[in-house]
Structure 1
Amino acid sequence: MTTEPYGKKNPFPAPVLSVKHLTAEGSPKETIHIEYSLDGSGLEYIAGDALAVIPANDPALADALIEKLGFCPCSAVPTPEGESTDLRDALLHNYDITNVNKALLTKWAAASGSQELETLLAGDKEAISDFLWGRDVLDLATEYPASFESAEAFVSMLKKIMPRLYSIASSPNAHPEEVHLCVGAVRYTARDRKRGGVCSTYMADRLQPGHTARVFVHTNKNFRLPENGDTPIIMVGPGTGIAPFRAFWEERTASGAQGGNWLFFGNPYKATDFCYEDELVKLTAAGKLKLSVAWSRDQEKKVYVQHLMVQEGEELWKWLENGACFYVCGDASRMAKDVDAALHEVIRTWGGKSPEEAAEYVADMKKHHRYQRDVY
């Protein structure tokens, strides 16, 4: 019997090497740098790829849910793969208990006999979406008590816990047999209970050196460094969007690439939020990186990366005309759109082009893989 190689179907239990904060106390953000060992895994990646991490749920949440439902933690239940384990272990490692979708809500309405839920489900999609936002399974168990024949019947309603993808923040040529991530811990309060992003808080709060996390590599062929190391690159990555660009600058340094490197980075305050400051200071001092930073809250008027792009538009245009590849990583809903608009503005202003000609210029960049985005 051959063992399945490590990958999506057989995640590798990667030992944690270190976890450290990149943001300082007092920051409005909480960003961590976590390093895993891939030694013996056979897993390979290149700069631009992502790492899939399968989280474990918060033990406090799992215990509270078990208690609310009146089950014994040691009750035998099947995993989504059909193996047998106890209820507590299944709720920690196998099932999603932090998200509620319409399918689960429909099953819960039947199990609880709640007329309120039945009425909600018969209504419009927006009302259902508003209800589901921020709710977890413990909320349902608390607000709409339900009874189940067995623990097995309960878990049969739940979805499998899904991996979360994170842009890899390391080059394998700089850190052989290791993979690094830059992660923003998500925390919020809903219905008078403190909550967090299941995977980000798993890494920030519960993983320590020596622990293992289930991981596999997710290839991202649409986010790649230029094959020619002489090609200049422009990287726009505010916040944790800096992650793949650390992989890029490490890879460019390791390979001896001669092309220019320009990073646009942004975060709230220089004093608390300068991620990878030591590395960036060394690179800029050595003339290996041009750094433009937007500290959005260090002055009265907020400044973001797209504003710096426009301010430095003349030089940015020269880089583009010199064949530079343009990369964006981070928030898709606002930042990436604002950066795209700024890119068009720079091309119009300094390239002397009409809006239509600027759009054609950008389309040509995309066609030749000179404009790549890793947004989420």
Structure 2
Amino acid sequence: MSKYQLPFNSDELDKIINNASAEQLAWMSGYLWGIVAKGALQVESSTLPQNQVDNDLSAANSQKVITLVSASQTGNARRVASELSRDFERLGLVFNHVHAADYKFKKIDQDDIVIIITSTQGEGEVPEEALPFYKFLFSKKAPQLPNLNYAVLGLGDSSYVHFCKAGKDFDQRLMQLGAKRLADRVDLDTDYQQISANWRQTIVDRLAQSIKQSGDPSKALTNNRNIIVENSQYNRENPFMAMVNVNQKITASHSDRDIRHIELDLSDSGILYQAGDTLGVWYENSPALVEELLSLMPFDSEVDVELHGERYRLKQVLIEKIELTQNTPVIISKYAQLIANSQLLALISDKTALRDFAQTTPIIDMISRYQGEFSAQALIDILRPLTPRLYSIASAQDEVGDEAHLTVNVVQYLIDDKKRTGGASYFLAEQIPEQSQIKVFIEPNDNFRLPSDNGLPIIMIAAGSGIAPFRAFMQQRASEAASGENWLLFGNPHFTADFLYQIEWQSYLKDGVLSRIDLAWSRDQAQKVYVQDKLLAQGVDIWQWLQRGAYLYVCGDANNMAKAVNTVLLQIIMQQGQYNEEQANNYLDELRSNKRYQRDIY
């Protein structure tokens, strides 16, 4: 081991092993096994400098190296990539798993095999960490790639118009550049586990075949096809039952928004998180919504149905297992065919109308308006499984200990004079009283982190419940007595009704922890003022802070606020830096590549 110059002594190694997660221990196991068994290093770029990784891999043996790139927004793409990594380890393949933010994409023409697993965010956009890679591939600087073999797996949500667009774009562009597909692209919806496993098996089979053909006996294959997933104690599949200590509305009674501050007790869980991470919440559908839906059905609520090979009572499935609050074009199409309704069938051919219908007509209202004959099983088969919702954590563990705080905007609106609500937000606000328990897990967000040097300044830009991670940032900076300046720009409709955590921000400002604050109240005057307007008005100071190394953070709505803020930032860079549009875009991309421009948008 000594020739590898391990960067820790035996005592430090003991600490690492005692404090490492199951996933980290699994990686170390594979790493050490690789050294002993075949001298090949299987590493992730986050653990070694990229040049050392490249040198180790190239020296390992003549086998082609696989570069596995995960581009994740909520953790699903990273999770699938980790599962594929374990498949590769079982085969003894030489691979390098990197997060898209760390991928040296300008050297892609030197890679042998590149496998991209990417999610899609918002209306067809690539994850934040993959944006520089994406823009490079679609630029004039992108090289031809005749010697590259590649595969793409896309993850998305069919409730959005541009389903899995990021994966489709990567796939098509690599093909345009002359690369050869190792396997056909697969696009996964929210219920992706089984199809994902099949795609991984396809990739493994293709690579295994190439190893057999090479005739190299040192690359032994295993007949075990089981996917072994190492889980930490609490995770998505095995959530922790957290007690709700506080469930408090923090908007005024006259506000048109219901935003809750929720405090969860993580005592005895051993769960650790960092400022910037998200909390996954497994929720249940409203019993009132389920009863309304069942009242439209010609069958009994206790009839048996099958889901993923298991038998359940219909009512239980509708409450605990099935998504009921988000309609999608796919569900509408399946329902139209199920009941053979001419109006819905005609709607399917008009993509724009179909999209608008999905966005404005909840599942229950669709079934109410267009009734037909079908079985309970047929209904379950066209709906999607319930998936957890992710919320930015609004606390720092150094400040609150064994707690996690959330800032939840309760989604509610009227359809035909009937109140409709979001599934998870209504569950948290109304179905879970204090001192009850909910299922939660931590989803790390390494793409939204405070600078490692707490002496650097930060600029935080948020609207509405997007304030959540910045409350965590300030708690963390305060607990560390960080010397770096902190600037908050925050927007919401009304000062008196919607100033979230007002007393805390004023206290931080008074104590000097918060260096400055700019507030935008869009409905307090005749002319609407948004956070991007405040940003533009402070363009000179924004530029000066950037010149001093400031980190930029944005949290909020992806389609409106985040896009508007990005546009204003480009204006500021052009005006203050005397750049043209291309230079301003390059400057912002450089900030993003250096992790000085980070966004948590949804």
TM-score in terms of structure 1 length: 0.92
Residue 576 of structure 2 is aligned to residue 362 of structure 1: no
Residue-by-residue CA offset, 1:316-366 (whole Å, 9 max, x unaligned): 222111111011110111211221222223233333444444333222211
Q: SS at the partner of 1:69?
A: coil
- Give the 3 Å change call, closer, same or farther, for CA 63–309 of structure 1 in structure 2: same
Matched residues in 1 for 2:414 and 2:359: separation?
A: 12
Matches for 1:41-56 after TM superposition, within 5 Å: 41-56=269-284
Query: Is this contact kept in 1: 2:521–2:529, CA < 8 A?
Result: yes
Matched residues in 2 for 1:247 and 1:3: separation?
A: 27
**What 5-or-longer segments of structure 1 have no aligned partner?**
none
The Cα shift of 1:4 comes to 7.5
Residue-by-residue CA offset, 1:169-204 (whole Å, 9 max, x unaligned): 111111122111111111111233211111111112
Aligned partner letter, 1:58: S
Larger RCO (alpha carbons 8 Å, 6+ apart): 1
Query: Is this contact kept in 1: 2:325–2:421, CA < 8 A?
Result: no
Residue 516 of structure 2 is aligned to residue 299 of structure 1: no
Matched residues in 2 for 1:97 and 1:296: separation?
A: 33
**What 5-or-longer segments of structure 2 have no aligned partner?**
1-229
**2:346 corresponds to which residue?**
119
Query: Is this contact kept in 2: 1:99–1:134, CA < 8 A?
Result: no
Matched residues in 1 for 2:390 and 2:247: separation?
A: 18
**2:381 corresponds to which residue?**
156
As a proportion of its length, which structure holds more helix?
2
**2:419 corresponds to which residue?**
194
Matched residues in 2 for 1:83 and 1:37: separation?
A: 32
Q: Say which one has the larger Rg.
A: 2
Q: SS at the partner of 1:138?
A: helix
Further displaced range: 280-289 or 40-49:
40-49
Residue 294 of structure 2 is aligned to residue 66 of structure 1: yes
* % same residue: 39
Residue 433 of structure 2 is aligned to residue 205 of structure 1: no
Matches for 1:1-376 after TM superposition, within 5 Å: 5-78=233-306, 80-121=307-348, 123-149=349-375, 151-289=376-514, 290-376=516-602
- Give the 3 Å change call, closer, same or farther, for CA 302–108 of structure 1 in structure 2: closer
Matched residues in 2 for 1:4 and 1:219: separation?
A: 13
Query: Is this contact kept in 2: 1:293–1:305, CA < 8 A?
Result: yes
Query: Is this contact kept in 1: 2:339–2:374, CA < 8 A?
Result: no
- Give the 3 Å change call, closer, same or farther, for CA 58–263 of structure 1 in structure 2: same
- Give the 3 Å change call, closer, same or farther, for CA 348–107 of structure 1 in structure 2: closer
Matched residues in 2 for 1:155 and 1:358: separation?
A: 50
Matched residues in 2 for 1:31 and 1:243: separation?
A: 11
Matched residues in 2 for 1:154 and 1:25: separation?
A: 39
RMSD (Å), alpha carbons: 2.1
- Give the 3 Å change call, closer, same or farther, for CA 139–360 of structure 1 in structure 2: closer
Aligned partner letter, 1:92: I
- Give the 3 Å change call, closer, same or farther, for CA 105–345 of structure 1 in structure 2: closer
The Cα shift of 1:35 comes to 1.3
- Give the 3 Å change call, closer, same or farther, for CA 105–231 of structure 1 in structure 2: same
Residue-by-residue CA offset, 1:34-71 (whole Å, 9 max, x unaligned): 11122233432211111122221111110111121033
Matched residues in 1 for 2:276 and 2:290: separation?
A: 35
Matched residues in 1 for 2:542 and 2:231: separation?
A: 51
Q: SS at the partner of 1:156?
A: helix
Query: Is this contact kept in 2: 1:98–1:135, CA < 8 A?
Result: no
Q: SS at the partner of 1:189?
A: strand
Aligned partner letter, 2:374: F
Aligned partner letter, 1:161: L
Matched residues in 1 for 2:405 and 2:354: separation?
A: 38
The Cα shift of 1:16 comes to 1.2
Q: SS at the partner of 1:133?
A: helix
Query: Is this contact kept in 2: 1:11–1:216, CA < 8 A?
Result: yes
- How many residues align structurally? 372
Matched residues in 1 for 2:565 and 2:328: separation?
A: 33
Q: SS at the partner of 2:555?
A: strand
- Give the 3 Å change call, closer, same or farther, for CA 15–337 of structure 1 in structure 2: same
Aligned partner letter, 1:120: L
TM-score in terms of structure 2 length: 0.59
